[in-house]
Amino acid sequence: MSAVIGIDLGTTYSCIAFMDGQTPVVIPNLEGNNTTPSVVSFIPGGQHLVGLPALRQAISNPYNTIYSVKRLIGKKFNSPEMEQLRDKFPYRMIEAPNGDILIEAAGEIYTPQEISAFVLAYLKQCAENYLGTRVEEAVITVPAYFNDHQRQATKDSASICGLKVLRIINEPTAASLAYGFNTRKNGKVAVYDLGGGTFDITVLEIHDGIFHVLSTSGDTFLGGDDFDNRLIGWLLEEFKKEHGIDLSQDKFALQRIKEAAEKAKRELSFTPETEINLPFICSGPGGSLHIQKKINRAFFENLTRDLVENTLTICQKALKDAGLSASRLDEVILVGGQTRMPLVRQMVAEFFGRQPAARINPDEIVAIGAALQANIIKGSTRDLVLLLDVTPFSLGIETENGGFQKIIERNTTIPARKTMAFTTVENNQRRVRIHVLQGESPKAADNKSLATFELVGIDPAPAGVPQIDVTFEVDADGLLRVSARDVGTGREQKVEI
Ligand code: AMP
């Protein structure tokens, strides 16, 4: 006997759940907590810690304590987002020969997938302890806005630790599944998900157990960490003004400031004022220096209001894509720890013209949805529940003169398959190069390149005569396969991205 679980592999915290018959249950970790910090710390002796014990190492062992790896997964070392972000982490990153990111810790090199695999292995172990049986299969959630590389990398992490991924599903879709299962209400729902590192908004229609995603949008570089960074930036500036010392290069001090800022941020969700107290943060010419600052909620809200506004601009886009106005929605569900911030709740309520759904634990709902989906796939859920998710980006190929031809449009229901016919541009052209891209710009150069491959051996013919059928297929995990077929010769070339 082995069990299946749902895993919300979060940027900052992860959560696991399973279905006990028809009841979803969150599985506590080995310390008895329902959520586990997605942190791995390498300690002397070649060992590593995961979760809370790893998080506790962040100050004393900052170079070897790896967190927020979800922000790195599937990314290129020199991508514009990474250029912005690299210096914000105390641990060392290096560029892999293929341009990917590698992490150096305790003298070893790890891929982000391997770090995530340590977290997944720990979660698997927690589930096995709790359930008293082996756990070999799981549904894992990812932000809806994760691209193909990021989804594949998440799958790779699971296979490193011996977990078979039954399905990759989008976090907001999982949340709505859990919500819909619980309330059994029909209607149009928006899931606003502001986690540690990413923001997603998904608009769905729930009708008698069919969950139809109408649109999804988001930003993989907008989350709770950015709220922390605003406070950290302010504290560093103030310290510089007062003492003329730049603490941003002092990794130990920075880690303490980071922890204190995150803690203060959380407290400000419940109290109108808090204090940051960091004695002996560094030494100055006259002895030890300290940070002691009172911060009130209004001040913090002013520091971060534009971040919330950015999420609402993205909501606007998702509503437009779904062809709906905010007033047509029946419910708004908040997911992700950062939605505990009162300003977020208030601005979201104003934007959608309604109070968000009550009695939802934003930290657990995604894992519960994943567990539910695992049960559905295994055929153990009694009710009819059908999940119709969508592609977050348009997918297509580069055409002659640098154009971009969309083959599968953004927000198409998955699984999806579409074929488009192309031809040659030169007489006797024997090969065509297929450049696969994702994005919305009509110019290929503005979109994200996913893969390139060649179809060779086309029979000589005048330009425009051969028919090359290019087929795009997106599976239920949101992963893309592209094939090109020369209709004349029947030759085919495939690429899995
Ligand atoms: P998640 O990825 O959903 O686990 O969300 C984690 C993010 O939520 C982190 O940035 C946390 O700092 C943030 N968070 C957790 N609790 C609170 C809170 N009470 N108030 C504000 N932010 C919070």
Per-residue pLDDT of the chain (497 residues; tens, 9 = 90+): 678 999 999 999 999 999 998 899 999 999 999 999 999 999 988 899 999 999 999 888 989 999 999 989 988 999 888 888 888 788 999 999 999 999 999 999 999 999 999 999 999 999 999 999 999 999 999 988 888 889 999 999 999 999 999 999 989 889 988 988 777 778 899 999 998 888 989 999 988 777 888 998 888 789 999 999 999 999 999 999 999 999 998 888 998 999 999 999 999 999 999 999 999 999 988 899 999 999 999 999 999 999 999 999 999 999 999 999 999 999 999 998 999 999 999 999 999 999 998 778 889 999 999 999 999 888 766 555 666 788 888 999 998 889 999 999 988 888 889 998 888 888 889 888 889 999 999 999 999 888 888 888 888 888 888 888 999 998 888 888 898 888 888 888 777 66
Give me ligand 1 centre to Cα 337, in Å.
3
β-pairing, 92-95 vs 101-105, is antiparallel
135 lines ligand 1 (CB under 6 A): no
- Closest C-alpha to ligand 1, atom 10: 224
Q: Give me the phi and psi of 462, to 5 degrees please.
A: -60, 155
Cα–Cα dist 266/228, whole Å: 10
State residue 443 phi and psi, 5-degree precision: -100, 130
Cβ–ligand 1 contact at 224 (below 6 Å): yes
pLDDT of residue 268: 98
- Kindly state if the Cβ of 195 falls inside 6 Å of ligand 1: yes
Specify the ligand 1 atom closest to the Cα of 10. 2
**Ligand 1 binding pocket includes 337 (Cβ within 6 Å):** yes
Between the CA of 151 and the centroid of ligand 1 the distance, in Å, is: 23
Q: What's the pLDDT score for residue 392?
A: 83
Query: Is the CB of 308 within 6 Å of ligand 1?
Result: no
Q: How far is the CA of 263 from the centre of ligand 1 (A)?
A: 10
**Tell me: the pLDDT tens digits for 200-245?**
899 999 887 778 889 988 887 899 999 999 999 999 999 999 999 9
Whose CA is closest to 15, among 225, 56, 24, 221? Answer: 24
Beta bridge partners of 191: 202, 333
CA of 267 to the centre of ligand 1 (A): 11
DSSP, collapsed to helix, strand or coil, labels residue 323 as: coil
Helix (H, G, I), strand (E, B) or coil at 14: strand
pLDDT for residue 478: 83
Which DSSP category does 91 fall into?
Answer: S
Atom in ligand 1 nearest the alpha carbon of residue 267: 19
pLDDT score of 423: 87
Instruction: Report if pTM > 0.85.
Output: no
Q: Which of 35, 39, 266, 301 to mutate to test the pocket of ligand 1 (most atoms within 8 A of CB)?
A: 266
Sign of the dihedral defined by the CA atoms of residues 68, 70, 75, 76, in that order: positive
Ramachandran assignment for 490, one of left (phi > 0), alpha (psi -120 to 50 degrees), beta (any other): left
| pLDDT at position 206 | 86
Confirm if 26 and 33 have CB atoms less than 8 A apart.
no
Q: Does the annotation count 70 as an active-site position?
A: yes
Closest C-alpha to ligand 1, atom 16: 337
Return the axis-axis angle of helices 297-322 and 224-243, rounded to nearest 10°: 150
State yes or no: is 193 an active-site residue.
yes
339 lines ligand 1 (CB under 6 A): no
Cα 39 from Cα 118, distance rounded (Å): 9
Q: Distance from the CA of 394 to the center of ligand 1, in angstroms?
A: 31
CB neighbour burial string for 257-288, b if at least 16 within 10 angstroms, e if fewer = bbebbbebbbbbbeeeebebebeebbeeeeee
Shortest-distance atom of ligand 1 to CA 268: 20
- Our answer to whether residue 443 is catalytic in this structure is no
Residue type, 99: G
Query: Which atom of ligand 1 approaches the CA of 363 most closely?
Result: 3
- Tokens for 410? 């953004």
Nearest residue (by CA) to ligand 1, atom 6, is 196
- Using a 6 Å cutoff on CB, does residue 394 contact ligand 1? no
Q: CA–CA separation, 406 vs 391, rounded Å? A: 13
pLDDT at 251: 83
Pairing of strands 331-335, 187-194: parallel
Residue tagged active-site, from 171, 228, 473, 486: 171
Nearest atom in ligand 1 to the alpha carbon of residue 15 is 4
* Residue 337 alpha carbon, nearest atom of ligand 1: 8
Question: Which residue among 114, 148, 193, 477 is the active-site one?
Answer: 193
